[in-house]
Amino acid sequence: MSLPEAQGKTLPDAWDYKGCPAERSKTGGWISAAMILGGEAMERLTTLGIAVNLVTYLTGTMHLGNATSANTVTNFLGTSFILCLLGGFIADTFLGRYLTIAIFATVQATGVSILTISTVVPSLRPPKCVDKTDCIPADGKQLMVLYLALYLTALGTGGLKSSVSGFGSDQFDDTDPKERKQMLNFFNWFFFLISLGALCAVTVLVYIQDSLGREWGYGICACAIVLGLIVFLSGTRRYRFKKLVGSPLTQVATVFVSAWKKRHVKLPSDVFLDKAAIKELEVAKVNKWDLATLTDVEEVKMVVRMIPIWATTIIFWTVYAQMTTFSVSQATTMDRHIGKSFRIPAASLTVFFVGSILLTVPVYDRIIVPIARKVLKHPQGLTPLRRIGVGLVLSIVAMIAAALTEKKRLRTARLHGLTDDPTAEIPLSVFWLVPQFFFVGSGEAFTYIGQLDFFLRECPKGMKTMSTGLFLSTLSLGFFVSSSLVTIVHKVTVNKPWLADNLNQGRLHDFYWLLAILSALNFVIYLVCARWYVYKDRRLADEGVELGEVDERSFH
């Protein structure tokens, strides 16, 4: 039995930095976890400190158009999330989580340092506008340095984000009751520090960037990630390390490749993936790319069943992307004063976004769940699919609110004769934008947790890391869809641009209406997919099958 051994001096499945069995008293626990959490807090502070206020830097300092700036931001964020898949694959297959975090944190620090230097060296940014309208956009060399900095930062963020939570949970022994409880607290603190980092980014850092200059704001980001890296490396002697387990992406690939090689084989069920487990008699020696186990095939089929739900949640993150792009651009044109002297930075409106998330979670837990339990007769209150559905509805409401607010902003601009002045402050309080931030933030609280719960519950036990990959890929694709949509709309409406460089002459509200319509159509498709989907536990119970009972070495 492994339990008595696990509760002794050393752990059977963990090693120290020398490669020896990890001693419980000298490795892991809260000290190790705190050093890892510190690095993640710095990563979130750095990434959001750059992303939430990037669109104003691109339009105001680099003199790029609104559409180009919005696409740069969404491409940056989309790349950060899609590279989490690459980081996870490298960590699971080649380097392990510790080395992956250390290497990619260094890459991120390099990217942020280059970005900071580009704000200090005058030749790396265009000259200031002469009369607010005669502006020279950034040239090729300046954009090359900017994109190099942003995408090195994105690469570092992706690799770092992919392994932090997993490496943190590795510091606790799941077979020990005391450490299992500590692990649960670790995830609570993980979410808290992520939120704290986000809050500092959208308030303190954004204020510093707008008041003292980008060089100070980005310089603090560079120092923060370097400090996080130093703290992380200082814990090397205390960390617990686990053996490489391989990436679930490899498992998916081997099943599809094996099935494709035997695509001409006839089966009674005629299920394509089942062919991966057919053993051909004429082949004497086989490898995993020629023959898959029944368990591998069934696990991949479970993932395939989730694809329709996965696909219909992408549009939510396209709506979410507008909160860091055009909504911030709207805020720059509005009255941002509190009292007579204090002026809110445009990007700091994101604080309402973060606040709505933190407010929605306890309201859901304490009020909505008890009511839903009584009405729906379900122990969870709302199932994961219902939670996602609520989030999708809130995103539609957010885009309707955004469209109506933009119409009011344009009417006010025309009423005061400010249509032709892109830098004029329109006498309309910036707090009119709060509803769109609030609804998207509340929608994220439902969709984010609903997606995580759904993918964690429905992914097979042998592919749990796949759940994170599926979730992060919806975020990434949502940002890329936003970029594509902006590009298409900008080209189609070139004569009467919806996304004009001067928002006062554009039709941004029509773009928001378009997103509302697309989100509504997507919601209808989502309802069909959700009604069709059968949860794993119920499906296996109806079939009288438990996946864990399938012999790992079984083939057809």
CATH number reported for the structural domain that contains residue 110 in this entry: 1.20.1250.20
Q: For the chain, how many residues are written?
A: 556
Residue reference for tokens 């400190």 = 49
Within this chain, do residues 517 and 411 fall inside the same structural domain, yes or no?
yes
d(CA 50, CA 221): 8
Q: Residues 155, 111: contact at Cβ < 8 Å?
A: yes
383: left (phi over 0), alpha (psi -120 to 50) or beta: beta
CA angle (206 as vertex; 78, 146 as ends), nearest 5: 50
Confidence at 194, pLDDT banded by 50, 70, 90: confident
206 assigned to some structural domain: yes
d(CA 89, CA 252): 12
4 assigned to some structural domain: no
- List the alpha helices (DSSP H) in 241-312: 248-261, 294-305, 307-311
* Structure confidence by residue, pLDDT tens digits, 210-256: 889 999 999 999 999 999 999 999 999 999 998 887 778 888 888 88
199 assigned to some structural domain: yes
Within this chain, do residues 486 and 431 fall inside the same structural domain, yes or no?
yes
> Which pair of tokens denotes residue 304?
């395939």
From the list 48, 525, 511, 507, the residue with the least C-alpha distance to 319 is: 511
**pTM for this prediction:** 0.84
Q: Which domain holds residue 392?
A: 304-536
- Residue 7: its pLDDT value, please? 46
d(CA 334, CA 327): 11
Helix (H, G, I), strand (E, B) or coil at 13: strand
Higher pLDDT, 469 or 515: 515
118 assigned to some structural domain: yes
353 assigned to some structural domain: yes
Within this chain, do residues 492 and 469 fall inside the same structural domain, yes or no?
yes
Within this chain, do residues 254 and 359 fall inside the same structural domain, yes or no?
no
18: left (phi over 0), alpha (psi -120 to 50) or beta: alpha
Count how many domains the chain has: 3
Within this chain, do residues 15 and 118 fall inside the same structural domain, yes or no?
yes
* Structure confidence by residue, pLDDT tens digits, 22-56: 888 888 888 898 888 888 888 888 998 899 889 99
30 assigned to some structural domain: yes
- Residue 543: its pLDDT value, please? 63
Higher pLDDT, 258 or 538: 258
- Find the radius of gyration of the CA atoms of the chain: 25
Within this chain, do residues 423 and 472 fall inside the same structural domain, yes or no?
yes
Within this chain, do residues 336 and 240 fall inside the same structural domain, yes or no?
no
Confidence at 352, pLDDT banded by 50, 70, 90: confident
325 assigned to some structural domain: yes
Q: Residues 194, 40: contact at Cβ < 8 Å?
A: yes
Within this chain, do residues 253 and 104 fall inside the same structural domain, yes or no?
no
From the list 519, 367, 360, the residue with the least C-alpha distance to 450 is: 360
550 assigned to some structural domain: no
Q: Residues 451, 474: contact at Cβ < 8 Å?
A: yes
Within this chain, do residues 210 and 308 fall inside the same structural domain, yes or no?
no
Within this chain, do residues 233 and 331 fall inside the same structural domain, yes or no?
no
Within this chain, do residues 339 and 282 fall inside the same structural domain, yes or no?
no
- Residue 437: its pLDDT value, please? 93
d(CA 100, CA 229): 12
Within this chain, do residues 27 and 125 fall inside the same structural domain, yes or no?
yes
